């Protein structure tokens, strides 16, 4: 007597896929995928049998997401990746329908990475250089070292080599969702840097090192294992850094995200002819192409100056 194989629902398969992925990815990535499934995919796919999911349905789903015009290209690509991976897992394990995702074109990410304006940069620099405090220190480090928010929150005094002017990125701090029973929904976690290349050594300008050294002496640091932002063993909260950074910005009449400091650093390096390969390594990118795609968006004036560096052929006389 043959037993009919019970069909799987999307919810069952997505849970299986998520548990499998948990074994091979960082916890922060796991929570990201879990959020995509719970926030986006389950709304449309949760109660569907896998046999009911076909190309037309998937195409309609993405068309509706795009038409809402509320999601960034990056978010849409993340949704596509997770859905595609779940369906491929289902096809491999349960021999369900193959869905071709090549027809879903989302375009290139338009991240809108804009550096600080000259006025904004001058205001922030003036404010921070006149004050020796934790928030001023981390702002200057990100502005002149390109550190991410979680990375600068995770810096300890022991990560700074005052002799060489080098800073080691050994950890990142993130506030992540807690999956198990807990009194709080999120908690601060000390994690490995974002990628293998994110664990890096960054040289900083001498004048920034001078500022750090003076601040270090004023604090009379007793324990180099303290976090530089809190100057204690208390973990620096990126949310707290972002809050105090916004307070400074409000003083000068503008509102930007802390990550803009990293964009400004990268753009300034490009405009000052710093080698792109070196910049890519200092930013912790896995390849030079990522650096070029994200940050080489210089001003028209800069481009004009660059092309005018091209030499006129010697055989050409005055025109």
Q: Note whether 180 and 89 are same-domain residues.
A: no
Q: Note whether 80 and 170 are same-domain residues.
A: no
Give pLDDT tens digits for 24-73: 888 888 989 999 999 999 999 988 999 999 999 999 999 998 888 888 88
CA 116, chain centre distance (Å): 18
Give pLDDT tens digits for 203-233: 999 999 999 999 999 999 999 999 999 999 9
What number is the average pLDDT over the span 129-152? 96
Flag whether pLDDT at 303 surpasses 90: no
- Position 28 scores a pLDDT of 85
Going from the C-alpha of 85 to that of each of 6, 33, 80, 285, the distances in angstroms are: 22, 11, 8, 25
- Position 194 scores a pLDDT of 77
Q: Number of structural domains, the chain?
A: 2
Flag whether pLDDT at 140 surpasses 80: yes
- Position 176 scores a pLDDT of 84
Lowest mean pLDDT among 89-103, 138-152, 168-182: 168-182
Q: What is the DSSP letter of 39?
A: I
Q: What is the longest distance spanned by two Cα atoms in the chain?
A: 95
Q: Note whether 205 and 71 are same-domain residues.
A: no
- Position 296 scores a pLDDT of 62
Lowest mean pLDDT among 183-192, 274-283, 303-312: 303-312
Question: Using CA atoms, how far apart are residues 296 and 253, in angstroms rounded to an integer?
Answer: 27
Flag whether pLDDT at 121 surpasses 90: yes
Q: Note whether 277 and 134 are same-domain residues.
A: yes
- Position 254 scores a pLDDT of 93
Task: State the pLDDT confidence band at 113, using cuts at 50, 70 and 90.
Answer: low
Is 236 a member of any domain?
yes
pTM: 0.75
- Position 310 scores a pLDDT of 79
Is 106 a member of any domain?
no
C-beta of residue 136 within 8 angstroms of C-beta of residue 208: no
- Position 182 scores a pLDDT of 56
Question: Using CA atoms, how far apart are residues 81 and 246, in angstroms rounded to an integer?
Answer: 33
Task: State the pLDDT confidence band at 177, using cuts at 50, 70 and 90.
Answer: confident
Q: Which of 94, 127, 156 is the last residue of a domain?
A: 94
What number is the average pLDDT over the span 87-95? 94
Q: Note whether 81 and 130 are same-domain residues.
A: no
Is 108 a member of any domain?
no
- Quick one: 227 exposed, middle or buried, by C-beta within 10 A (0-12, 13-18, 19+)? buried
Which residue intervals of the chain are DSSP H helices?
10-22, 27-36, 42-45, 55-68, 73-94, 118-129, 134-145, 149-153, 206-219, 238-251, 260-271, 276-283, 288-295, 300-307
Rounded to a whole number of angstroms, the CA Rg of the chain reads 24
- Position 2 scores a pLDDT of 47
- Quick one: 174 exposed, middle or buried, by C-beta within 10 A (0-12, 13-18, 19+)? buried
Q: Note whether 69 and 133 are same-domain residues.
A: no
Question: Using CA atoms, how far apart are residues 252 and 122, in angstroms rounded to an integer?
Answer: 10
Q: Which of 61, 94, 127 is the last residue of a domain?
A: 94
Q: Enumerate residues 6+ apart whose C-beta is below 8 A from 129.
A: 136, 140, 211
Q: Residue 65: give the domain boundaries.
A: 10-94
The share of the chain scoring above pLDDT 90, in percent, equals 63
């Amino acid at each position: 007597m043959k037993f009919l194989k019970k069909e799987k629902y999307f919810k069952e398969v997505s849970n299986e896929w998520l548990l499998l992925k948990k074994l091979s990815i960082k916890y922060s990535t796991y929570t990201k995928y879990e959020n995509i499934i719970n926030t986006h995919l389950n709304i449309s796919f949760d109660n569907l049998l896998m046999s009911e999911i076909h190309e037309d349905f998937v195409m309609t789903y993405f068309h509706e997401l795009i038409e809402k015009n509320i999601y960034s290209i990056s978010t849409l690509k993340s949704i596509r990746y997770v859905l595609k991976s779940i369906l491929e897992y289902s096809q491999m394990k349960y021999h369900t329908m193959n869905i071709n995702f090549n027809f879903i074109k989302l375009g290139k990410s338009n991240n809108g990475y804009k550096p600080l304006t000259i006025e904004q940069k001058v205001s922030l620099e003036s404010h921070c250089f006149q004050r020796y405090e934790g928030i001023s220190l981390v702002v200057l480090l990100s502005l002149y070292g390109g550190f991410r928010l979680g990375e600068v929150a995770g810096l300890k005094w022991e990560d700074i080599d005052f002799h060489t002017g080098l800073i080691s990125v050994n950890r990142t701090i993130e506030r992540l969702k807690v999956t198990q029973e807990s009194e709080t929904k999120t908690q601060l976690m000390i994690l490995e840097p974002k990628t293998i290349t994110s664990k890096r050594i960054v040289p900083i300008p001498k004048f920034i090192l001078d500022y750090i050294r003076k601040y270090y002496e004023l604090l009379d640091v007793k324990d180099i294992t303290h976090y530089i932002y809190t100057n204690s063993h208390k973990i620096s909260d990126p949310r707290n850094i972002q809050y105090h950074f916004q307070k400074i910005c409000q003083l000068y009449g503008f509102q930007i995200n802390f990550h803009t400091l990293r964009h400004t650093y990268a753009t300034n390096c490009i405009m000052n002819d710093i080698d792109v390969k070196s910049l890519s390594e200092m930013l912790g990118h896995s390849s030079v192409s990522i650096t070029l795609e994200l940050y080489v968006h210089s001003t028209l004036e800069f481009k004009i100056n660059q092309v005018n560096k091209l030499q006129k052929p010697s055989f050409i006389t005055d025109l």
